[in-house]
Amino acid sequence: MSQFDRQEYINNNLTDFGMPNLPQVPSRIQCISIIGQIEGHMLLGSQNKTTKYEHILPQLVAIEQDKDVEGAVVLLNTVGGDVESGLAIAEGIAGMKKPVVTVVLGGGHSIGVPIATAGNYSFIAASASMTIHPVRLTGMVIGVPATMEYIERMQDRVVDFVVRHSHISDEKFRELMFTVGELS
C-alpha cells in the first residue's frame, strides 16, 4: 500500500468511525467505544458527539466471525440517545457467543444502562454515574393515547432487558426509574 493510499485509508477511517486507524497490535481482545449520544434513526447535529448504531452492529458481527478474536471490551461514556438503537446494540452484545466486558467510564445514562448490563461482565468506574429515568419523547405529539401506549411499551422493553441481564428485580428497577429528585 502506497503512502498516499495509507493516508487515504486513515482519513476514511477517521471520517467513518471517528478514530484514526491505529497501528495494529495483534490482540485477541477487540475494543469498542460508545461515546456521546447514541445516534439512531434521526441524524444529530454535527456539534454533537455521537456513536452511530449502524457502525457498532457490524463491529459486533466482525468480532463474532473473526476466529482470532476471543472477546471484546465495550467502553461506555454516553448520555443515552435513541432507545431502539440502544436496545439493538444491547441485544447485539448480549447475543454474542464470545465473552464481552462492559466498562462505564464517565457515564452510562439512559439507554446506556441496558448496554452496560448486556455484557457477560459489567464494571463501572468509581467516578462514573448512571441515570435511570422513564422513556422520554421530544417533538410534536399527535394522538396522545397511542403515543403514551407506545412509550409504555418501549419502556417495558428497556426494563425487561435490564432485569434479564442484571441482578435487579422489575419492581426495584421501576422504583429507581420513577424516583423524583434523586440521581438513581
> Could you write out the DSSP letters of every residue in 84-141?
HHHHHHHHHHHT-SS-EEEEEEEEE-TTHHHHHHSSSEEEE-TT-B---------S--
Q: Which of 2, 127, 129, 133 is catalytic?
A: 133
Residue 110 is a catalytic residue: yes
Q: Is 127 exposed, middle or buried (0-12, 13-18, 19+ CB in 10 A)?
A: exposed
Residue 165 is a catalytic residue: no
Q: Which of 2, 46, 55, 110 is catalytic?
A: 110
Closest CA to 83 of 53, 106, 56: 53
Longest pairwise C-alpha distance within the chain = 60
Q: How far apart are CA 147 and CA 137, in angstroms?
A: 9
Task: Supply the residues annotated as catalytic.
Answer: 110, 133
